[in-house]
Amino acid sequence: MVSNIVQNAVLHAFPGTASERLLWVRCGAVNGFAQVEIEDRGVGIDPVTLNAVFDPFVTTRMGSGGSGLGMYVVHNLVVEVLNGTVDVESEQGRGTTVRVRIPMTTPG
Ligand SMILES: Nc1ncnc2c1ncn2[C@@H]1O[C@H](COP(=O)(O)OP(=O)(O)OP(=O)(O)O)[C@@H](O)[C@H]1O
Ligand SMILES: [Mg+2]
């Protein structure tokens, strides 16, 4: 799941020969949730793609390796299976942050 998101940053965020390829992965516990944030300083996601980023087969890499299922699978796993949330913030030219929150169940 995290690998899908990191792979997107590596594959989509830095086309060409960007001088810097900045990517952060932050993990922590926030209000009873395990939180993982994956942030890149890449090209960002255009608004039309961003609006449908969790839909199946939405890709800007049609015919060159993208199936458009990566974020769909992440959404399904996090929301349907793990009862968590996933949000994508992105601004073109500035980068992208994906935030996953999964509730931590208390034992007993
Ligand atoms: N970090 C990112 N930076 C720029 N664009 C992104 C980023 N993450 C996702 N995208 C955009 O969102 C689209 C959908 O992502 P998604 O992971 O669902 O599909 P994909 O990566 O194209 O194909 P797949 O994951 O199935 O190999 C991508 O094609 C890309 O345009
Ligand atoms: Mg992908």
- Residue 74 CA to residue 89 CA, distance in Å, equals 15
| Pair 80, 1: CB distance under 8 Å | no
> Edge-to-edge, what's the strand order for the sheet holding 95-103?
23-30, 33-40, 95-103, 85-91
Concatenated DSSP letters for 63-104? TTT--S-HHHHHHIIIIIIS--EEEEEEETTTEEEEEEEEEP
The answer to whether 85 and 77 have CB atoms below 8 angstroms apart is no
Ligand 1 pocket, mutate which of 7, 24, 59, 97 (most atoms under 8 A from CB) = 59
Inform me whether the pLDDT recorded for 106 exceeds 70. Answer: no
How many helices and strands (H and E) does the chain possess? 3, 4
Q: How confident is the model at residue 7 (pLDDT cuts 50, 70, 90)?
A: very high
Fold assignment, 2-103: Heat Shock Protein 90 (3.30.565)
User: How many angstroms does the Cα of residue 106 sit away from the middle of ligand 2?
Assistant: 32
pLDDT tens sequence across 10-28: 999 999 876 789 999 999 9
Give the residue extent of every domain in the chain: 2-103
| Residue 53 banded pLDDT, cuts 50, 70, 90 | very high
At residue 71 the predicted structure's pLDDT band, cuts being 50, 70 and 90, is: very high
Which residues' Cβ are closer than 6 Å to ligand 1? 8-9, 12-13, 40, 42-43, 45, 49, 53, 58-61, 66-72, 96
